């Protein structure tokens, strides 16, 4: 029996820039991962409601190496498609974000299955970001991407470029043409092409990925244009209703079921109550779409606002993905729900075999590092949640730290950690960084550190309730002592710092170990539990 409703978001927590494709009865969504490794997450469903993580394709150095990539760089806006018995995945590796230049390298990789070994990447171009691949029904293939213009006085978002791709030569061929310059909303990006009824339809994201975000559509009889805008305006946006529960709607893709039903996936965010701040980052939602009599794609509800609940297609019922609430680290590899930062060589900093049943982290660089951190984390998917862990750690220097971290990026985090003052005894303290890199990343919080027993395991907990985060600790896992400060979750959001500093990821909760002496002192974690409330 089919589900009675689909509730949004369908991919909760940091899952932006969705690209969707159908292969027979199977649906796949690829989402951006930015500086988190492995790159790109692909979810699978057979009913558009119940999604399961099926693959993380960019999982080796040849495909992705982000050492040194700044925060909110790395993998932007993948495009997933299927043709000729192959999945095609396009992605951008962004090496610079701030300033007038953006170093954006666009690649293509292929595989027969989303969970297989993807081919070594083909470099396409570096002219902009958000690459997309269109398979025309005449057998030709076309690459689109936005073009970045670094010149002073010019529109940075210089339009959507189109160029033919030759599979035989594995390169772009022919002339590059700007086929769409955007609308007055600006920030034209995220292109996808479709063909229907003799028209080519171009969908783009506009207005920036903040609270003015929108999806626009234009069409042409020729793939090279000229493209005529939909006279009705944006297909979807929340920009005119600041109180709507799903904000920042934009960056969309369209899929058609085998029965001809149309759906649009797009990004949204859910803000903390009373704010326009989103610690969860940008998430993925889905909407019913219809094709109008005058030949345009519109939301089926007759409005442009994204809906919290939509009507599902007549597809088989399924089961929601089982949530990984308690992980005892008993497996030979990490659950794919975990990610780490930037490096394609996780064996340098973690092991599940050195102490079976425990995750061992070898101390690496600071929480502010853009190179090698020993930080393993999972997405925060709800604005109310609780994370708990058990750690054994024997530091012999104040530069050695390990514990539980609530992390947005290298300048936005709250960290409950064990360390030592002078090598005799252990202590527990909080480090917090609130989005001002110029001040550094170490800001002790609270009246004084907590003195701990010299040896033995320590239990750590983070409880998040909207804007508030409270850390607590225990020596037996039963009698908990809350630390004497309440931390602010608003700082751990995309928008904190103003529009000029908007960032693009989301909050993670995880385990961390730092050794600033370079001795790689390790910490052992027995388990991690993460429980969320809807």
Please check whether residue 95 is in contact with residue 72, taking contact to mean a CB–CB distance below 8 angstroms. Answer: no
Q: What phi and psi values does residue 148 have, to the nearest 5 degrees?
A: -95, 130
DSSP state, residue 271: P
**Cis ω for the linkage preceding 9 (within 30 of 0):** yes
405 SS3 class: strand
Q: Confirm whether 337 is a catalytic residue.
A: no
Alpha-carbon gap, residue 429 to 238, rounded angstroms: 41
Rounded CA gap, 157 and 144, in Å?
A: 14
Can you tell me the distance from the alpha carbon of 390 to that of 476, in angstroms, rounded to the nearest whole number? Answer: 10
CA distances from 391 to 349, 444, 474, 512, 521 (A): 16, 21, 11, 10, 14
| DSSP strands (E only) in 103-196 | 104-111, 122-125, 132-135, 141-148, 157-166, 171-180, 189-196
Q: Which residues 6+ apart lie within 8 Å of 126 measured at CB?
A: 103, 104, 105, 106
Answer yes or no: are the C-beta atoms of 38 and 57 closer than 8 Å: yes
CB-CB contact of 493 with 503 (8 Å): no
Catalytic residue among 50, 71, 93, 189: 189
Q: Judge whether 17 counts as a catalytic residue.
A: yes
User: Hey, is 348 helix, strand or coil?
Assistant: helix
Six token digits for residue 116? 């297989």
Q: Which residues are catalytic?
A: 17, 189
């Amino acid at each position: 029996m089919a589900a009675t409703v689909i509730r949004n978001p369908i991919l909760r927590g940091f899952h932006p820039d969705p690209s969707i494709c159908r292969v027979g009865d199977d649906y796949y969504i690829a989402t951006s991962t930015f500086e988190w490794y492995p790159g790109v997450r692909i979810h699978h469903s057979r009913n558009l409601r119940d999604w399961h993580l099926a693959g993380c394709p960019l999982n080796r150095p040849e495909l992705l190496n982000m050492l040194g990539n700044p925060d909110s760089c790395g993998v932007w806006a993948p495009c997933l498609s299927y043709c000729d018995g192959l999945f095609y995945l396009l992605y951008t590796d962004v090496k610079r974000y701030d300033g007038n230049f953006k170093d954006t390298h666009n690649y293509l990789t292929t595989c027969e299955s989303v969970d297989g070994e993807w081919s070594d990447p083909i470099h396409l171009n570096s002219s902009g970001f958000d690459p997309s691949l269109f398979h025309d029904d005449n057998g030709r293939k076309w690459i689109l991407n936005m073009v970045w213009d670094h010149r002073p006085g010019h529109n940075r978002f210089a339009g959507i470029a189109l160029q033919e791709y030759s599979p035989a030569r594995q390169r772009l061929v022919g002339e590059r043409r700007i086929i769409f310059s955007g609308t007055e909303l600006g920030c034209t990006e995220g292109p996808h092409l479709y063909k229907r009824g003799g028209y080519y339809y171009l969908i783009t994201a506009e207005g920036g990925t903040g609270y003015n975000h929108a999806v626009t559509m234009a069409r042409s009889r020729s793939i090279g244009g000229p493209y005529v805008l939909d006279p009705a305006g944006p297909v979807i946006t929340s920009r005119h209703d600041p109180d709507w529960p799903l904000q920042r709607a934009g960056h969309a893709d369209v899929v058609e079921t085998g029965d001809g039903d149309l759906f649009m996936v797009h990004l949204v965010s859910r803000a903390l109550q009373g704010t326009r701040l989103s610690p969860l980052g940008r998430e993925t939602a889905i909407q019913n779409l219809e094709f109008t009599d005058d030949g345009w794609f519109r939301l089926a509800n007759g409005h442009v606002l994204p809906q919290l609940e939509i009507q599902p297609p007549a597809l088989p019922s399924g089961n929601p993905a089982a949530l990984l609430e308690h992980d005892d680290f008993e497996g030979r590899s990490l659950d794919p729900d975990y990610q780490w930062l930037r490096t394609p060589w996780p064996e340098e900093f973690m092991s599940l075999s050195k102490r079976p049943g425990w995750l061992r982290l070898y101390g690496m660089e600071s929480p502010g590092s853009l190179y090698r951190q020993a930080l393993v984390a999972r997405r925060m998917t709800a604005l109310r949640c609780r994370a708990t862990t058990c750690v054994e750690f024997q530091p012999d220097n104040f530069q050695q730290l390990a514990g539980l971290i609530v992390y947005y990026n290298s300048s936005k985090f709250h960290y409950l950690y064990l360390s030592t003052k002078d090598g005799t005894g252990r202590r527990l303290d909080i480090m917090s960084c609130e989005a001002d890199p110029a001040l550094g990343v170490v800001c002790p919080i609270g009246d004084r550190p907590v003195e701990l027993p010299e040896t033995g395991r320590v239990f750590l907990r983070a409880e998040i309730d909207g804007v508030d985060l409270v850390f607590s600790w225990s020596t037996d896992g039963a009698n908990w002592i809350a630390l004497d400060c309440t931390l602010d979750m608003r700082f751990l959001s995309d928008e904190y710092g103003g529009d000029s500093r908007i960032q693009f990821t989301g909050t993670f909760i995880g385990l961390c170990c730092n050794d600033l002496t370079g001795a790689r002192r390790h910490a052992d974690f027995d388990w991690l539990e993460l429980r969320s409330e809807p």
